Every structure is written in C-alpha cells, then in structure tokens.
Amino acid sequence: MVRYITRRLLWVVVLLFLVSFLTFIIFYTLPSTDPAQLRAGRQPNPELVEQIRHNLGLDNPWYQQYFDYMKDVFLHFDFGYSYQNTISVKEQVFQRLPATISLALGAAVVWLVIGISVGIISAVRSRSLIDRAAMGSALVAISAPVYWLGLLSLYLFANDIGRFKIFPGAGSYVPLTEDPAKWFTSLLLPWFVLAAAFAAFYARLLRSNLIETMGEDYIRTARAKGLSNRRVVFRHGVRSAITPIVTAAGLDIGILLGGAILTESVFNIPGIGRLVFDSIQHSDLPMIQGTVLLGTFFIVTMNLIVDIIYAFLDPRVRYA
C-alpha cells in the first residue's frame, strides 16, 4: 500500500507539470487581450505598455516565462502576482478557498445523505409507488440547470426578495470565523441547490447497482443462512453496490473544490469559482494558472483517497 501511494504521489507531481504546461500554452498561444494593455488603462502610451511588459516578464520567450514560473512554484511555493491588481495569487486563492470548501463539502454531505438514502429505498422497494415518485423527482432534478434552480430558489425562499422567507442569509455569504450561525444559514440554500442534481444522479446510480447486486449468488447464499433482510441489504448489498458512488463522489468533490462557478455567482459567494471567472475575463494568466493547479491537485488527491477507500469497502480490491 505504501509503495502504491508513493507512486501515485509522484504521478501527482508529473500531472501538475503537464496541466500547468498545457494551461500556459493555451493562454499564451491563443489570441487574447494583452495583460500589459489592461494594466496601462484606456488609450495607453506605447512606451508605458512596453515598460509594463518588461516588468511582468512578458517580453521574454514563452519557455523562459514558463520555466521561471514553475521554478517559483516548486522551490518557493510562489504562484506569482496578478496581472490585474498586483495581488499575490497565493494570498488571493487561500483567502477565497474557505468559502469554496464550505460550499463543496456541505453540498457533498447533503447529496450523499439524500442520494444514498433514496437509492437504497428505491432499490429495496423497486417498482413501488415510492420508487416511481423518487426516480421521477430525480429525473427532474438532473434536468434542472444549476443557475436556473439557484435563481428560482432565491426568488422563492431568499430572506430579502423571496416569496416564502424561510432561508435567511441566502445570497449574502458570511465567513465561518465571523459568525458560525450566519455562515450556516447563508450556505443552507446553496447547499441544497448545488446538491440537487448530484443527489438525483447518485440515487439513480445506487438504485441500479443495488438491484443488480441483490440478484447475485452470494446474496442468495446470505439469505439462505438465515440473515435478516436488513443485514443482507446493508452488510452485503450496499457495501458492494456503493463502490461506483465512491468513485463519482471523489471526482465530483475534487472538481467542486476547484470552484463551483455557477453556484458561487448566483449566490454571491466569494470563492474560487468567481475568481476563475474574473481571471479569464481579464486574461490574468498567473491567477488562472494558480487556480487550475489548485483544482488539479484537489482532483488527483480525491482520486487517491478513493482508491485507498476501495481497499476497505471491497475485499476483492488489493494493492500490491
């Protein structure tokens, strides 16, 4: 197991290099607004633009710029400074990271609890009225776009403009360190909106896997031994059927930790997603590079955690 984890960690470093290089090439080679002109303002003096390009290192060859950037990242953990406002990328990212973590992990708890519960009930009571109602609702939730669902939720339930004011604080994020109670209420509606489609997908996925698993030979053997239906379902059925859920959850949480752009924009949450959106609009390459590397790190880390969890959930999985 230790050797396997070590190899995966080395692969993380290689993958970060590849992603950073591709990101750099895309934003360097594709036509976009010159960051020096953005810094110089409207109708800038050409000499001022050239001076800014020199100060930012944009007059160097692209490979020299990339080498200098990666050297600072891996030797000094320095992601550079924003082209737009000269703020440290590392400082800006870590300042916004708690909001994104709060949104992503809270929504993950909501969709896992709802999705797994509904999936088990639908599988155990397959083709019943409860199953049909749950799967019909899941189809609606999957089909609803996040931004539309968020705007509709604000219109119905927000404390200021809502028709039914039952979610105080929605649309006005409050940090956890400032007021835990207001932090919870400000994220409650975004959690449910972001979790809706995920919970519906997980419920349908677990239902189909569990129905298939309950028809396996070892399930019939467990029933023949006289085990209770609850123990057969949870000890043998769910444990085998839940492995695809673990895979999907690891990937989805990793992606959301890199920024949930639509949800953060709709509910005015100052997270990584909003930062990515603003950086792309202003061709802010250092900020884009920093957020992309952060998102990549979260994704590969969550995949590694998922692989380790496999060994505990499924006894058939072993890492030599």
The Cα angle at residue 218 between residues 216 and 221, in degrees rounded to 5 = 120
With a cut of 80, say whether residue 71 has pLDDT above it. Answer: yes
Burial of residue 100 (CB within 10 Å: 0-12, 13-18, 19+) is: buried
Output the pTM of the full model. Answer: 0.79
Domains and CATH numbers, the chain: 35-78 (no CATH), 90-313 (1.10.3720.10)
pLDDT for 111-136, tens place per residue? 999 999 999 999 988 888 998 999 99
Identify the pLDDT of residue 10: 83
Per the structure block, which two tokens stand in for 99?
Answer: 């909001």
Compute the distance between CA of residue 292 and CA of residue 193 in angstroms, rounded to an integer: 24
- Range from 123-137, 188-202, 301-315 carrying the lowest mean pLDDT: 301-315
DSSP states of 227-241 as a string?
A: --HHHIIIIIIIHHH
Integer Rg of the chain from CA:
24
Q: Please tell me what DSSP assigns to residue 207.
A: H
Compute the distance between CA of residue 222 and CA of residue 112 in angstroms, rounded to an integer: 27
With a cut of 70, say whether residue 254 has pLDDT above it. Answer: yes
Identify the pLDDT of residue 126: 86
pLDDT for 149-166, tens place per residue? 888 888 887 776 667 777
Compute the distance between CA of residue 170 and CA of residue 159 in angstroms, rounded to an integer: 7
- Of residues 137 and 308, more confidence is placed in 137
Residue type, 22: L
Compute the distance between CA of residue 129 and CA of residue 223 in angstroms, rounded to an integer: 26
- For tokens 């930790």, the residue is 257
